[in-house]
Structure 1
Amino acid sequence: MANPWSTLADEDLTPESVHAHLDPCADDRWVAAACFDRLVFDIATQRTLIDIGLQRSASALTRTCDIYSNTASSSQSNTNLLFDHFLREPLDAQVCHIRARLRERLDRLNTYVELQKELVAKGSEDADDEWEDDPWADEDLHHKGGQEDKSTVLSIPDFLTDDLPVTALSLAAQEQLPALGVLVERHGDILFPHRFTILESIPEHVPPSDYRQLLPIYDPLEDCERRWSSKVPRSDTDWTDNLDVQSTLEQVGIKPPPSHERIPGAVEAPLSSSALLRWYHAQIDRIISRTGNVDTALALTQHGASSGLSGLDEVGEDLSLLSRLVYDTPRPATEDEGHTLSGWSKMSPSEVVQSYLSKSTPATVVKNIQRLVIPYLFVLESRAERSHNPDPSLRNRLLYEYIVNASLEMAAPIFEASKPTLPVVERLIKDDEDLARIALALLYGSDSLDEWATMSRIFECMPAWDSVYIADADEEDEADTTITSLGTFVAPSTAQPRVTASDLLLFFQPLHASSLSRALDVLDVHLESGEILSRWNVPARLRWFLQSADDENEQRSWARRMARRAGGSSDEPDSPEEYEWLLEDMVKLSNAGGSGLRSAFGLIPKDEVISIFLSGLLNSGKFHIAETLLHKPDSKISLSPTAIEDICLSCSREFYDNATDGNYKVGDMSIAYNCLTVPRPSDRIVREQEFIEATSRICSFNVTSRPGIPISPIEIRLTKDRLSLISRVLSSNSEAYKHTEVILDLVRKLGFKGDPTAEIKTLGMIADVALQNEDFDRAYKIDKRIIDFVANLKDGGAEVGEEVKEVCWVACYQLGRQPEFEDVQKKLHLLGCALQLCPPERVVEILAAWRRVDEEDLEIREEELGSTKPLPSKNGRRGQTRPNEPGIGLKTIADRLQKHIPPSPLVHTPDAALLASKTFSHITANFPFSVRSSSRASQRSDGPASPMMNRVSLDQDDGRPSMQASRVIQKGIGWLIGADEE
């Protein structure tokens, strides 16, 4: 049969039902155990269970107590007797253990009753604080079944079984501070090691006054923290409290009640004064960093200071200043900078001032300085005096430091609040010299390029020292020396890449009114120059005017930038009037003002500034504007025609040199060509235009500088022997030689206009290419043209140069000796001309070729006349006269030339014909094309000829060149200039 006690639910138990079920039971041990096992939610029922358990455990307590006390009749100690008894009667040991636990549970229950009083009271307060007309109240009551019980934050079973430190942390986290106070008051000795963890569990927004009794208190007598004490009222003592009994129970295997859990961070011993001060600092930081509530931290500080803990007074002062930073400094509502006391203490005074003003605007910065920064500076001065280290310059130094490091927009209102026209008491910067020093340092140290209006606002606030202005030459020299030194000081170097406003303030610090006045005059000129440069999109930092004051190259460089970049950012079409305004401004920057101070371009002469302006127009491609300004009647470009030509040529050549495409219809080459239309036509302009046209034509022939790389315009300009370009044109295009007039026009445009030598050489090159292509008729026409040109020179009485002669006779000789050229009469004519113009040492070899052609001519004539037997001659060769034409005997020609031919072994030398080839090679050494032998000449040869075989030799029997030598002469100069052999 089941025990009816075990079937009862905990919530069904009442004091009466407990008595009804347990009183009839005679087994005291079972009843005590039953009472210990039950934990209910009702205070009265739980107290009844504890009381019955204590009553029923009394009999076992009496037995064990008698045994423990009966030491006289036994030689054993009382603990041994008790140990033996517990071994014999283990149930008595269990009952003693249960009794000890029930007594502890009774103490806890009494504490719980006191806690409930506080919890009910706080619940009532919270209910009173709720809205009387809360629209959600009815719905909440409907779901919760009535008024919510504010006292149910702890249940009896939880409170009786949980460790007290855990319960204390839970109450702290739920802000049940009165109940927590009761717990600390009744069990302070248990909770003291966990006091700081409990305090940290209290939400940071809770005012310290709500948990004042929990805060650590400084004991001046002990110079440390005061301990918490327990006030648990126990009216009686029990035998189970004896330590011998508890140890004996443990020896027989009954575990003692578990000790209270030690939560991490427990501190057993009281803190020293220094450690306690550090804790207050950390707690203040925690409150501020997590809530930003400086007032709560200040209240905590005041509590600690009230107990006499030294060091918190200055902390309170810092918190008052920090509260100004947190509450009085404007900032967005969503922004939280996380200010803390430790962070505040680590901040330097300059950082504090910066923090006070970090959220200021130009409209509020003056007001914030007056209500936030000035009081803080007074506090610093007071502290310095209290520490016996007074610093009279502290206030001005920190304020000036902020101003020189502020933006121009933020600084301008401060200068306006410091004008010399204001009463001294109202001015932020009260000293006129300091005002000038700070302004000079701030402006020359600024990197701004577009705040010229703001800079002018600052300049308008400067003092005017009429009575102390420079009085004599010595003071003026001293002031100018100061300005020169300032230019050197701001120049960047490896040791100091950039000068800051703070550095400049140190530089201006020793200057007096006279030097400062001169510096302000210079500043006025520089501000005007800066506005002009900014207007034309070439702004410069204000300190640049100091750096370039004695640097002509730097001024010239900036003038070029101004001329080239002006108007570049405007979307409107350029107008001549706009550029006239630009010219006026550039000239203005080159002139000295009324005070004799040089402007931005003061080292550059006016004419050079105008030249730079014109160059800038041309380099920007604004040719129509340049033409308009140059040719208008009242032109402000007062330059000579030669100077204008020089500028136009220079700009054109710059575009030419940068061009990647030689076509003068597009790109930079087109701009270079159009640039030459700006000045009035002249010989130099025309020559440059023709050279550009020649460049475009050369590039159109696909001339290359390296295999696969088209020749660039700059390579054409840098070519020293421009006739070599003609040879490259002829070699790069197989049809180019057919356009003789085009090639000659190209030669003239390359700079050889009126140069007969260049034209003859060009014709010689064309004739040679025609010969290589076996275009003998065209080659003959070119050679005839060369011959006529030379004849006209002679007929006109002009002296024919050696180079012209050499080109003429070599060209005639090359074509006249070609076997493939079948017109014998033309060949004789060419070789005759070659004999007339060649040097004496070349006559024999040319004459040998003439003889061969002459023999061919005789054979042809004999065939035409039907003659079968040639006329004999005394040297065994054919007759000396030709039918149907006057006879010119070979001997007669030889006799006529004999006087010009000194005795020479040339006739018997194997290299006689080679000399002729080398002669032509000398004339055309720079021609890159190769000479190709005719197909018929190749067919007549015995085999391919190597360069070593190409040396010409004479037949020893008849004095004529051999077939191999003839083949070499036919090939011309190809192998000599590195052409490939086939």
Structure 2
Amino acid sequence: MSSSDDPYTHWTALSDDELTVDNVEEILRALEDDLWVAAACVDRLVDDVAVQRSLLQLGVERTESVVESGNKSLTFSKILVEEALNASDDGQADADSSVDAEVKTRRDALASHFRDAPVDAQLCQMRGILLDRLDRLNTFVELCKELPVATNEDELDDEWEDDPWADGTPDTSSTKPPRGSPVDSPVPLSIFLVDDLLDISRIFAAHEYYPALHILLSRHTSSLWAYRFTILDRIPDHAHPSEYRDLLPGCDASTDMEAQFTGQNWRQETDWAESVDLLTSTEVITWYKQRVDRVISSTGMVDIALALIQHGASQGVPDLDELGEELSLLARLVYDVPHSSDAAEEDDWTLARWHSMDPASIVKAYLSHSTPDTIAKDISRLVMPYLFVLESRAERAGQPDPDLPNRLLYDYILTAPLSISAAIFEASKPTLLPAQRLVRDDEVLAKLALACLYGSNSKTEWSTMSRIFECLPAWDINRDDEDQADEADSTLVSLGAFVVPSTARPHCTAPDLLLFFNPLPLASLSRALDILDVHLESGEIFARWNVAAPLQWFLRSSHDAAEQRAWANRMARRAGGPGEELTRREDWEWLLDDMLKLCSISETGLKSAFGLLSNDEVIRIFFAGLLSSGRFNIAKDMLRSANQKLSLSSDAVEDICLAASREFYDNASSGNYKFGDMKLAYECLDVPPPSDKLSSEKEFIEATSRLSSFNIISRPGIPISPIEIRLTKDRLSLISRVLSSNADAYKHTQVILDLLYKLGFRNNVAAEAKTLAMLADTALQAEDFARAYEASERMIHTVLHLRSAAPLGVEEPMVQEASNVCWVACFQLGRQPEFPDVRKKLLLLGRALELCPADKLHDVLNAWRRLEKEDLERRREELAGYATKAPRKRVSSPDKQLSSLGMRLHDLHMPSSPLVNAEDAAALASRTFNRMASNFPFSVGARSRSTFSREDESGGRGEGGVGFDGDVVSAQASRVLQKGIGWLLGADDDS
């Protein structure tokens, strides 16, 4: 026989794909070697069901011989056991161990048989493999009826690609239906026969092939049931439990254990090693809870978790009701609560997060996305079921709390935005049926509304607040007027004191206020609503004029006139708000009407927001606010209007205008009265009829504008401000600063005097004399002796005119002050060596003699005699020169002039004692000028040092200036002035 005719070689030459049922029957069945045929059947794994079944059946047939031989050995062993038992003395005792003896004998017999017949041992092993594969083949055929139909586009699962049985090349047959399969299968038969059933089951679970998975567990219960929870864990968390409910565990109430799964194994008898342990009910409950936690945390699908618990409860698993209740409530929160399109992380709910929240937080979560349009419905369908569950749980726990639902609902209302609270109050109106109302108690409704409104800091939601007020009940309570007044007053006082901020409670919240309103009786509660009505009306008026205040302000200010006055000023000045200034008279009249309404008394006898202010005071505040807006034409029209809304006296109008003008003045950044606030300050004075006070104020504004034009410096680089000018106590110092900071200012005598008059010194001769003295001194420092003399001459005329007008024998303080200034100024200029006009100097010294005090005459006279002596010498020289050139004329002798002066001194009753020496004169001059310096409100600047006299070199005026500013003189200035006056009085003449 050739090799090609050898059936063994022919069989082995056939590939798996070439095998057919005919090949098995014609080639393999014809072989007589049972061991070889059985091995050939075990060796072949094909995907064709018919071919694989023929191979397995043939292999089982060829192993039948081992069953027969094995049975013979077992029969012989059974006979030996029976004989041993019959020969025993105590058959009854040995009967208990007969089973164990039989088992041991069977094992020994089979072991002995297989040692003696190794071929039978191999056939026995292969028979077990063939039978198991035949069971799997039958299962596979049943699975193919349940598995989804495979298409050419389906690909093998990645887990199958890692199969250790694969030969490393892609199995293209897996994408095609197995030949001869009753229905196409995604699992190749060749793999299904040898792969681990647990792995196959897990893959079916992952792909949600639940019918196929159920077949596997039923047909191979002994192999797979011990791993049932491992297989269930591979089912996707998002899968609905109803799809695999037959696979879920249940409990047997009679045994308090897991219910036994009834399988349908292909072989009825199972070995003892194939039995599995059942879980206790507690362990089953734990598995369900763990599964729920994993489903929610991984997918967030609360409905799937709820369905899982519901199915577990239906299978008799105990203690799942409360968890199911929790999941039902959580499912409402997840699926029924409206969410925004851009849901944030806080909407990612888990069971752990749910358990960590307190009931109040859960209520807020239910209503977190509710709107005023949906809040009432959301409370009914979401919050109320949750609150009822809490109440029932408290009852089951033996701690009933029937007020719990209301308390949680009220807490939410108190902390919700006003728009949400308003919608809740509208759903609780007393006009609705009780079953339709969210808050059914009228008194509670009123207390909640009062707490919400007075606890809110809102300044804009007045229409919402009015909506809330319209939802409140109205009680008909009969009380006399006196009782009403007393009750209203006490209620206001207590409310105002309660809302005052403190360190312990910086702001009084709505829950705090509810504690206050809760104990109020019905009468006080009704009165509180009347107060609320007045406050809401006042709040709307405030908001209309852009000076809105929270409702708590009305409580705090109800007994605080200062606070009411401050708010009235704010209302009058801020009406309209930025960019909305009132430009029409009608608007201002409307504002005045509202302000007067706020200081009136309501129909219920309650005072309004400005109830502590009189009508006259409110009108004054309004008029001041009108002026502060700069609408002076409107102010004039309203003052002259026939309806007399501004019922103010002329004096009151003048005072208010002056105050408004000064306010503009103080706020002005520039002193120029042609623009800005200073212009408003000036024009404001034209509103009332003219008067001396108004004219004086206008002149002061003009003086301020003139001072600003002189560029007086307040601090280095900073011009003097109007407010600094007004706050200057000694305004004459401003004249001094003008003269010292402007080199040519002294040349404009009339301008400086006009400035003096407008600064408030009109008809003040002493101030005019001081100003002329400053002009003269400034001109002297500039060595402009002509203007210095003109100023001195005008000063002398002014003082002499004042003295002549004074009563005879009475020397008024102003006259004395002017005289003192005048004689010192005349003495300074007349004593000046650089002044060349001796005649004028003599005249000045003569005026100094006329005006100075009696105890200073000898000082001035000494200077006058010295000057006259110098003049006589000069004249003699001139006369001598003239005598040689011209005819001689008669002149008065110096002795005659001295005689004239002596007569004048005699008339002044001056003692004829000799003049004091130079040293005494200097000391006297120092004391004299120290006293006189206080009357010089000006400062002396530096003078030119182009020429110096002998007296300058010996300690005269020098280059330092002398300054006087009211009663305050610096030490340095004092020393300089003392030295200067000593020189002026001739203290160094003899030195």
TM-score (structure 2 length as normaliser): 0.75
Partner residue in 1 for 2:419: 409
Partner residue in 2 for 1:202: 235
Maintained 8 Å contact 1:807/1:920: no
Counterparts of 1:450-489 in structure 2, within 5 Å, are 450-466=460-476, 468-470=477-479, 477-478=486-487, 480-489=489-498
Compute the displacement of 1:818 (Å). Answer: 2.4
Distance in 1 (alpha carbons) for counterparts of 2:713 and 2:606 = 57
Compute the displacement of 1:122 (Å). Answer: 3.1
Compute the displacement of 1:811 (Å). Answer: 1.8
Compute the displacement of 1:43 (Å). Answer: 6.5
Compute the displacement of 1:635 (Å). Answer: 2.2
Describe the shift of the 1:822–1:514 C-alpha distance in structure 2 as closer, same or farther (beyond 3 A): same
Report the residue type matching 1:310 in the other structure: P
Compute the displacement of 1:477 (Å). Answer: 3.8
Partner residue in 2 for 1:562: 571
Partner residue in 1 for 2:845: 831
State yes or no: 1:811 paired with 2:825: yes
Describe the shift of the 1:472–1:751 C-alpha distance in structure 2 as closer, same or farther (beyond 3 A): closer
One of 941, 947, 953 as aligned partner of 1:964: 953
Distance in 2 (alpha carbons) for counterparts of 1:326 and 1:585 = 52
State yes or no: 1:689 paired with 2:711: no
Corresponding residue SS for 1:705: strand
Distance in 1 (alpha carbons) for counterparts of 2:679 and 2:611 = 36
Distance in 1 (alpha carbons) for counterparts of 2:216 and 2:418 = 62
Compute the displacement of 1:520 (Å). Answer: 1.8
Maintained 8 Å contact 1:917/1:973: no
Counterparts of 1:481-500 in structure 2, within 5 Å, are 481-500=490-509
Distance in 1 (alpha carbons) for counterparts of 2:631 and 2:373 = 46
The Cα offsets for residues 132-187 of structure 1, whole Å up to 9 and x where unpaired, read as xxxxxxxxxxxx99999995544567768877665544333322223333455567
Report the residue type matching 2:532 in the other structure: L
Describe the shift of the 1:165–1:613 C-alpha distance in structure 2 as closer, same or farther (beyond 3 A): farther
Report the residue type matching 1:899 in the other structure: M
Describe the shift of the 1:510–1:884 C-alpha distance in structure 2 as closer, same or farther (beyond 3 A): same
Maintained 8 Å contact 1:108/1:160: yes
One of 83, 103, 118 as aligned partner of 2:143: 118
Compute the displacement of 1:911 (Å). Answer: 3.1
Maintained 8 Å contact 1:119/1:176: no
Corresponding residue SS for 1:801: helix
Aligned residues: CA RMSD: 5.0
Q: Which moved more, 1:730-739 or 1:43-52?
A: 43-52
Counterparts of 1:366-515 in structure 2, within 5 Å, are 366-466=376-476, 468-470=477-479, 477-478=486-487, 480-515=489-524
Partner residue in 2 for 1:172: 205
Partner residue in 1 for 2:941: 930
The Cα offsets for residues 498-556 of structure 1, whole Å up to 9 and x where unpaired, read as 22323323322222322222222222222222222222222222232222211212211
Maintained 8 Å contact 2:178/2:185: no
Distance in 1 (alpha carbons) for counterparts of 2:300 and 2:833 = 112
Partner residue in 1 for 2:99: none
One of 743, 747, 764 as aligned partner of 1:734: 743
Corresponding residue SS for 2:523: helix
Corresponding residue SS for 2:147: helix
Describe the shift of the 1:370–1:761 C-alpha distance in structure 2 as closer, same or farther (beyond 3 A): same
The Cα offsets for residues 820-861 of structure 1, whole Å up to 9 and x where unpaired, read as 222222222222222332334444443443344334423432
Distance in 2 (alpha carbons) for counterparts of 1:290 and 1:303 = 20
Compute the displacement of 1:866 (Å). Answer: 2.9
Describe the shift of the 1:124–1:966 C-alpha distance in structure 2 as closer, same or farther (beyond 3 A): closer
Corresponding residue SS for 2:714: strand
State yes or no: 1:907 paired with 2:918: yes
Distance in 1 (alpha carbons) for counterparts of 2:457 and 2:27 = 95
Maintained 8 Å contact 2:222/2:270: no
Describe the shift of the 1:841–1:274 C-alpha distance in structure 2 as closer, same or farther (beyond 3 A): farther
Partner residue in 2 for 1:553: 562
State yes or no: 1:822 paired with 2:836: yes
Maintained 8 Å contact 1:441/1:508: yes
The Cα offsets for residues 73-105 of structure 1, whole Å up to 9 and x where unpaired, read as xxxxxxxxxxxxxxxxxxx9xxx99x9999889
Maintained 8 Å contact 2:204/2:210: yes
Distance in 1 (alpha carbons) for counterparts of 2:893 and 2:10 = 169
Compute the displacement of 1:411 (Å). Answer: 3.6
The Cα offsets for residues 310-329 of structure 1, whole Å up to 9 and x where unpaired, read as 22122333444444445554
How many equivalent residue pairs?
868
State yes or no: 1:303 paired with 2:292: no
Compute the displacement of 1:576 (Å). Answer: 0.9
Partner residue in 1 for 2:879: 865
Distance in 2 (alpha carbons) for counterparts of 1:332 and 1:147 = 52
Compute the displacement of 1:112 (Å). Answer: 7.4
Compute the displacement of 1:781 (Å). Answer: 1.1
Q: Which moved more, 1:349-358 or 1:677-686?
A: 349-358
Partner residue in 2 for 1:601: 610
Maintained 8 Å contact 2:859/2:921: no
Compute the displacement of 1:597 (Å). Answer: 0.9
Corresponding residue SS for 2:671: coil
Describe the shift of the 1:530–1:31 C-alpha distance in structure 2 as closer, same or farther (beyond 3 A): same
Distance in 2 (alpha carbons) for counterparts of 1:382 and 1:201 = 38
How much identity, in percent, do the aligned residues show?
52
- Unmatched segments (≥5 aa) in structure 1: 58-91, 128-143, 243-267, 871-880, 942-961
Distance in 1 (alpha carbons) for counterparts of 2:581 and 2:624 = 22
Compute the displacement of 1:760 (Å). Answer: 0.7
Maintained 8 Å contact 1:661/1:713: yes
Report the residue type matching 2:143 in the other structure: E
Q: Which moved more, 1:159-168 or 1:457-466?
A: 159-168
The Cα offsets for residues 695-749 of structure 1, whole Å up to 9 and x where unpaired, read as 2222221212222222222222221111111111111111211111111111111
Distance in 1 (alpha carbons) for counterparts of 2:400 and 2:962 = 101
Maintained 8 Å contact 2:238/2:301: yes
The Cα offsets for residues 475-494 of structure 1, whole Å up to 9 and x where unpaired, read as 86456423432222222222
Report the residue type matching 2:472 in the other structure: M
One of 624, 629, 637 as aligned partner of 1:615: 624
Maintained 8 Å contact 1:43/1:156: yes
Report the residue type matching 1:623 in the other structure: F
One of 647, 650, 658 as aligned partner of 1:641: 650
Describe the shift of the 1:155–1:740 C-alpha distance in structure 2 as closer, same or farther (beyond 3 A): farther
Report the residue type matching 1:930 in the other structure: G
Report the residue type matching 1:438 in the other structure: L
Maintained 8 Å contact 2:781/2:943: yes
Corresponding residue SS for 1:935: coil
The Cα offsets for residues 340-359 of structure 1, whole Å up to 9 and x where unpaired, read as 45544454444444444444
Distance in 2 (alpha carbons) for counterparts of 1:692 and 1:653 = 9
Compute the displacement of 1:580 (Å). Answer: 0.9
Distance in 2 (alpha carbons) for counterparts of 1:926 and 1:381 = 90
Compute the displacement of 1:607 (Å). Answer: 0.8
Distance in 2 (alpha carbons) for counterparts of 1:485 and 1:654 = 39
One of 750, 755, 779 as aligned partner of 2:788: 779
Q: Which moved more, 1:384-393 or 1:102-111?
A: 102-111
Maintained 8 Å contact 1:10/1:38: yes
State yes or no: 1:788 paired with 2:783: no
Maintained 8 Å contact 1:469/1:513: no
TM-score (structure 1 length as normaliser): 0.76
Compute the displacement of 1:790 (Å). Answer: 2.4
Maintained 8 Å contact 1:841/1:901: no
Compute the displacement of 1:803 (Å). Answer: 2.4
Distance in 2 (alpha carbons) for counterparts of 1:157 and 1:704 = 110
Maintained 8 Å contact 1:105/1:160: no
Report the residue type matching 2:146 in the other structure: A
Describe the shift of the 1:834–1:197 C-alpha distance in structure 2 as closer, same or farther (beyond 3 A): farther
Partner residue in 1 for 2:245: 212
Distance in 2 (alpha carbons) for counterparts of 1:625 and 1:766 = 46
Partner residue in 2 for 1:976: 973
Compute the displacement of 1:583 (Å). Answer: 0.7
Report the residue type matching 1:515 in the other structure: S
